Amino acid sequence: MAEKTVTAAILVIGDEILSGRTKDKNIGYIAEYLTAIGVDLREVRVVPDVEEEIVGAVNALRTRYTYLFTTGGIGPTHDDITADAVAKAFGVAIDHDPRAVAILRERYSAEELTEARLRMARIPAGADLVENPVSKAPGFRIGNTFVMAGVPSIMQAMLDNIAPTLETGARMVVETVEAPGIPEGIYAAALGDVAKAHPGVSIGSYPSFTAGGFRNQIVVRSKDPAAVAAAAEAVRGALERLRGDGVPA
Amino acid sequence: MAEKTVTAAILVIGDEILSGRTKDKNIGYIAEYLTAIGVDLREVRVVPDVEEEIVGAVNALRTRYTYLFTTGGIGPTHDDITADAVAKAFGVAIDHDPRAVAILRERYSAEELTEARLRMARIPAGADLVENPVSKAPGFRIGNTFVMAGVPSIMQAMLDNIAPTLETGARMVVETVEAPGIPEGIYAAALGDVAKAHPGVSIGSYPSFTAGGFRNQIVVRSKDPAAVAAAAEAVRGALERLRGDGVPA
């Protein structure tokens, strides 16, 4: 599998996430979305509405991964400082973008297009707009960085517009093996042996509580379908042998 | 208000969060919990089950904030590497801790206490244990860093045990002003003026979609109750004036 790897990070911007007042719904959504199209999400950060924090995180993440996706802070109010912070991170100017102003003029009458709403047309120099079919005020792409709204329905619509423009790598192939009735602590040694014998495959063990009690799932993951199939088979074999041995529950 | 500020970061460790397979439920819970007890959450990161990533993030966050809370990666399987990575980040040894072994011996018979389960007793030198009333295998505290389980019910129980040991600062006082029928783009200018006139107060504007349409909430936040009351009053006054002017919807 010599296919290229495409990586990404997410930067969530917003005091309201850090205060716990708003529960983030974007990280999980973007994570699942990127995984499905063959982009490997490698890191997530959440920072407050503070310019130097946003600038620092944008620069740390955009230089390390193929793509950076930001959410939040692109509305019309004084606390929406993401566009200015991203311009600063890229070292470019920012001003009202004629394309963005035109979009807002279509939505708002001259009287309605307040100075505050015009702030939503502030776009860093050299950026491309990302269409917002929900409430019109656009996101943007500059370099490898996509700046999206924080409201989930708007973010999701923007991501649908961004996805076709992304380079993608091989999709991750995932197989989940249920391990009913066998505690992690019993299959852990055998699972470690399987992991060692299949070095190109990531094997994770995920316990969770459900209404019926503990549930253990073993997740086998790689971009090579044959390697996943072989490792999953080895996991099932190891679990079968443990069952044959009379597993203590 | 010269009361001290106590800050914190969260580090979520786990491939399964980054793949989107598991949706994180810990960030929002810890955020709300810390806010309620007077600890300011300033940053969150999510990193994969990769030692150098965990070590790097632990060191970046523990040196910058009063406290660091980690979740995930302390189970018995080969992919649970958090304890070893945290020991490495602190530059200390790690071995089976007699106190943790004793806890596991109470839960498991000699036959059940596999080598894998004993891994859950690996605790960095100098750490204190954090009790786990749900499934026994403890978390730990080393320096300013608290290492907790990823399963939400266990994490929550551990956090309840940790909270009484934390230094806390003044609690944030929060007042939410609803702005029904007034779009953000209309009140943004007046809100910016209020924010400028109340520099010690954080004022955020949070739009959300609800079944009934757009809902705008203005959140006024500070550790000084009088300052919050004054700023919230100013926000309400500004909204009243806009309503009196006949706001375009």
| Least-confidence region, from A208-212, B18-22, B100-104, B170-174 | A208-212
The Cα A92–Cα A85 span in angstroms is 10
Q: Indicate the pLDDT class of residue A244, thresholds 50, 70 and 90.
A: confident
Percent of chain B past pLDDT 70, that is, above it, reads 97
CB contact, 8 Å: A131 with chain B?
Answer: no
- pLDDT of B52 > 90? The answer is yes
- pLDDT value for B194: 96
Percent of chain B past pLDDT 90, that is, above it, reads 84
- pLDDT of A159 > 70? The answer is yes
The Cα B10–Cα B65 span in angstroms is 10
Amino acid sitting at position A193: D
Q: Is the dihedral of CA B157, B159, B164, B170 positive or negative?
A: negative
Q: What does chain B come to in residues?
A: 249
The β-bridge partners of A142 are A145
Instruction: Determine the residue of chain A that is closest to B34 in CA distance.
Output: A19
- pLDDT of B210 > 80? The answer is no
DSSP B215: E
CB A159 within 8 A of CB A33: yes
* More confident position, A3 or A195: A195
Instruction: Determine the residue of chain A that is closest to B118 in CA distance.
Output: A185
The Cα B214–Cα B212 span in angstroms is 7
The pairing of strands B128-132 and B122-124 is unpaired
- pLDDT value for B249: 45
The Cα A49–Cα A33 span in angstroms is 26
Task: Sort out which chain A residues have CB atoms less than 8 A from B8's CB and list them.
Answer: none
B249 SS3 class: coil
Average pLDDT over residues B158-164: 96
Task: Sort out which chain A residues have CB atoms less than 8 A from B151's CB and list them.
Answer: 207-209
Percent of chain A past pLDDT 70, that is, above it, reads 97
- pLDDT value for A246: 67
Instruction: Determine the residue of chain A that is closest to B134 in CA distance.
Output: A209
- Exposure on the CB side of residue A31, measured as CA atoms within 13 A: 25
- pLDDT of A1 > 50? The answer is no
- pLDDT of B247 > 80? The answer is no
Q: Which residues contact A197 (CB under 8 A, 6 or more apart)?
A: A234
CB contact, 8 Å: A120 with chain B?
Answer: yes
CB contact, 8 Å: B32 with chain A?
Answer: yes
- pLDDT of A247 > 80? The answer is no
Q: Indicate the pLDDT class of residue A213, thresholds 50, 70 and 90.
A: confident
Cross-chain Cβ contact A79/B195 below 8 Å: yes
Q: Which residues contact A153 (CB under 8 A, 6 or more apart)?
A: A134, B209
Shortest Cα distance, chain A CAs vs residue B206, angstroms: 8
- pLDDT value for B1: 46
* More confident position, A59 or B185: A59
- pLDDT value for A248: 52
B85 SS3 class: helix
Residue B6 main-chain phi, psi, to 5 deg: -115, 125
Task: Sort out which chain B residues have CB atoms less than 8 A from A42's CB and list them.
Answer: 18, 48
The Cα B45–Cα B58 span in angstroms is 10
- pLDDT value for A249: 44
The Cα B137–Cα B119 span in angstroms is 10
> pLDDT (tens digit, 9 = 90+) per residue, B78-118?
999 999 999 999 999 999 999 999 999 999 999 999 999 99
The Cα B119–Cα A189 span in angstroms is 11
Q: What share of chain B is helix, strand, coil (3-state, %, to 5)?
A: 40, 25, 35
- pLDDT value for B6: 96
Cross-chain Cβ contact B116/A184 below 8 Å: yes
- pLDDT of A212 > 80? The answer is no
- What are the tokens at A178? 């249920």
- pLDDT of B179 > 70? The answer is yes
Domains detected in chain A: 7-165 (3.40.980.10), 173-244 (3.30.70.600)
Average pLDDT over residues B154-165: 96
Q: Indicate the pLDDT class of residue A18, thresholds 50, 70 and 90.
A: very high
CB contact, 8 Å: B205 with chain A?
Answer: yes
> pLDDT (tens digit, 9 = 90+) per residue, A90-146?
999 999 999 999 999 999 999 999 999 999 999 999 999 999 999 999 999 999 999
- pLDDT of A161 > 90? The answer is yes
Q: What is the largest CA-CA distance in chain B?
A: 78
The β-bridge partners of A141 are A128, A146
- pLDDT value for A21: 93
- pLDDT value for B45: 98
Q: What is the interface pTM, i.e. ipTM, of the complex?
A: 0.91
The Cα A235–Cα A187 span in angstroms is 9
Q: What is the 3-state secondary structure (H, E, C) of chain A?
A: CCCCCCEEEEEEECHHHHCCCCCCCHHHHHHHHHHHHCCEEEEEEEECCCHHHHHHHHHHHHCCCCEEEEECCCCCCCCCCHHHHHHHHHCCCEEECHHHHHHHHHHCCCCCCCHHHHHCCEEECCCEEEEECCCEEEEEEECCEEEECCCHHHHHHHHHHHHHHCCCCCCCEEEEEECCCCCHHHHHHHHHHHHHHCCCCEEEEEEEEECCEEEEEEEEEECCHHHHHHHHHHHHHHHHHHHHCCCCC
- pLDDT value for B246: 67
The Cα B5–Cα B2 span in angstroms is 9
